[in-house]
């Protein structure tokens, strides 16, 4: 069961990136994700736009460096799932790959620069991922203290738990909605 929940979570993330259904995540999918997130936060032309694009570009570069076994500049579902599984087992590698994108996306989401993401900002993030229909379900589960905000540290911890926890009852399994 524990490997099954991780695989389901990795496949959910793959599905969100592979919006064209090609069976691969490639640079065009990543650029589409950037465009969707920037649009969801009305950040086009703002100082936040280059930072989020750079963070996502760094993320893509790190992902392909770590996971693209056949060096074709795209990730198959198998490369994605097995690669995330490997990254999730090594904290240093996980941080090297995910910390820059988490920081960039959190900065984009924190529209009022309060240091926290509100429920509304989290819903906009989910919409930017193409996952708007799952936003409220995710919020109910991951806002464990019910204060209506997520700090940068909580956001990174939520993503880390989503990608590393093999506990089928972990509330962070809902980070991207039902898996």
CB 162 within 8 A of CB 12: no
CB neighbour burial string for 35-59, b if at least 16 within 10 angstroms, e if fewer: ebbbebbebeeeebbebbbebbbbb
Widest distance between CA atoms in the chain: 45
Q: CA torsion sign, 157 to 158 to 162 to 163?
A: negative
The per-residue pLDDT for 139 is 85
* DSSP string over 153-178: HHHHHHHHHHHH---TT-GGGGBTB-
Q: What tokens does 72 get?
A: 């074709």
Segment 33-86, tens digit of pLDDT: 999 999 999 999 999 999 999 999 999 999 999 999 999 999 999 999 999 999
| Average pLDDT over every residue of 117-137 | 90
Total-model pTM: 0.88
The per-residue pLDDT for 1 is 45
Domains parsed from the chain with CATH numbers = 2-165 (1.10.238.10)
The per-residue pLDDT for 147 is 86
């Amino acid at each position: 069961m524990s490997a099954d929940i991780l695989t389901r979570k990795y496949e959910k993330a793959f599905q969100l990136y592979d919006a064209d259904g090609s069976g691969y995540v490639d640079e065009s999918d990543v650029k589409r994700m950037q465009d969707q997130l920037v649009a969801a936060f009305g950040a086009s032309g703002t100082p936040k736009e280059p930072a989020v694009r750079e963070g996502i570009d760094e993320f893509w570069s790190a992902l392909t460096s770590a996971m693209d076994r056949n060096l074709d500049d795209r990730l198959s579902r198998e490369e994605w799932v097995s690669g995330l599984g490997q990254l999730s087992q090594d904290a240093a590698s996980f941080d090297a790959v995910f910390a820059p994108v988490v920081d960039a996306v959190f900065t984009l989401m924190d529209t009022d620069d309060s240091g926290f993401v509100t429920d509304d900002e989290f819903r906009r993030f989910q919409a930017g991922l193409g996952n708007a229909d799952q936003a409220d379900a995710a919020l109910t589960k991951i806002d464990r203290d019910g204060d209506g905000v997520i700090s940068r540290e909580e956001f990174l911890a939520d993503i880390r738990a989503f990608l590393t926890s093999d506990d089928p009852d972990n509330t962070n399994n809902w980070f991207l909605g039902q898996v």
